[in-house]
């Protein structure tokens, strides 16, 4: 199969604030005639999408839409915008794009972005060298990821976790840790770098378990083990 010389771009566009888009990502968007992404991602960048064909991805027709735009990518520049960084907590989406592209002889070029992980670490004053990272924002079984979370905390490291994208996602994590007899304090960030960014601190697991707040699907947690 002849491979197209025109790549399809997967562009990490940052966690929320459009100013976190990299210059390289900006240039790739400007060079593309078709730009695709989830509605919540595309709407952050309408000012630079003027005159372009925009394609909104939906879970129901995700595969079908990706097939269509990657086929177009054989002859036109296509950019797929990805929340945060494509290499942080989005491997299932990225692998789907890469597999479809490979079947059509289309190259994929991934442009890194700023992840909510980076922003959370900066807010907490932590270096990535001293933490462990787990994402539960995946489709399918999360039991291995939960076991990884336990191992990180038992090592005495801070665990940074992207919970399941449910209104009680952080509470579910707290319950799992409580049921496994861990003692932790937790910081929960919602919508990092958005104007309505929020931080909530919990001194122990029970206080988070008793939380009645419904969390955003753009949530990341830092879990600090207590001795």
Q: What is the pLDDT along the chain (227 residues), one digit of tens a residue?
A: 555 678 999 999 999 999 999 999 999 999 999 999 999 999 999 999 999 999 999 999 999 999 999 999 999 999 999 999 999 988 899 999 999 999 999 999 999 999 999 999 999 999 999 999 999 998 889 999 999 999 999 999 999 999 999 999 999 999 999 999 999 999 999 999 999 999 999 999 999 999 998 999 999 999 999 87
| Cα 52 from Cα 47, distance rounded (Å) | 11
State both tokens at 107.
């190259």
Letter string b/e over residues 140-171, b meaning 16 or more CB atoms within 10 A of that residue's CB: eebeeebebbeebbeeebbbbbbbbeeebbbb
Q: To 10 degrees, the CA torsion angle through 30, 7, 102, 75? A: 90
3-state secondary structure of 11: strand
pTM beyond 0.95: no
Paired sense of beta strands 78-82 and 8-12, if any: parallel
Strand-pair partners of 8: 78, 108
CA distances from 170 to 72, 131, 218 (A): 40, 18, 11
- Helix axes 143-154 and 169-179, enclosed angle (nearest 10): 60
Instruction: Report, in angstroms and rounded to the nearest whole number, the Rg of the chain calculated over CA atoms.
Output: 19
State both tokens at 202.
């919990």
Residue recorded with tokens 């509470």: 171
């Amino acid at each position: 199969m002849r491979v197209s010389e025109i790549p399809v771009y997967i562009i990490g566009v940052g966690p929320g604030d459009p100013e976190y888009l990299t210059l390289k990502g900006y240039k790739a968007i400007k060079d593309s005639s078709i730009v695709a992404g989830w509605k919540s991602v595309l709407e952050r960048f309408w000012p630079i999408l003027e005159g372009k064909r925009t394609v909104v991805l939906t879970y129901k027709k995700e595969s079908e839409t990706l097939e269509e735009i990657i086929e177009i990518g054989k002859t036109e520049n296509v950019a797929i915008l990805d929340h945060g960084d494509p290499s942080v907590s989005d491997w299932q989406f990225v692998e789907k794009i890469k597999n479809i592209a490979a079947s059509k002889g289309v190259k994929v070029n991934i442009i890194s972005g700023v992840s909510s992980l980076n922003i959370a670490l900066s807010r907490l004053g932590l270096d990535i060298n001293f933490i462990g990272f787990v994402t539960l924002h995946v489709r399918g079984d999360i039991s291995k990821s939960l076991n990884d979370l336990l191992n990180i905390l038992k090592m005495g490291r801070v665990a940074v976790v992207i919970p399941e994208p449910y209104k009680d996602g952080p509470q579910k994590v707290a319950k799992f840790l409580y049921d496994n007899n861990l003692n932790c304090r937790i910081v929960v960030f919602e919508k990092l770098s958005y104007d309505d960014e929020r931080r909530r601190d919990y001194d122990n697991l029970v206080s988070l378990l008793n939380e009645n707040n419904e969390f955003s699907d753009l949530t990341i947690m830092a879990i600090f083990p207590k001795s």
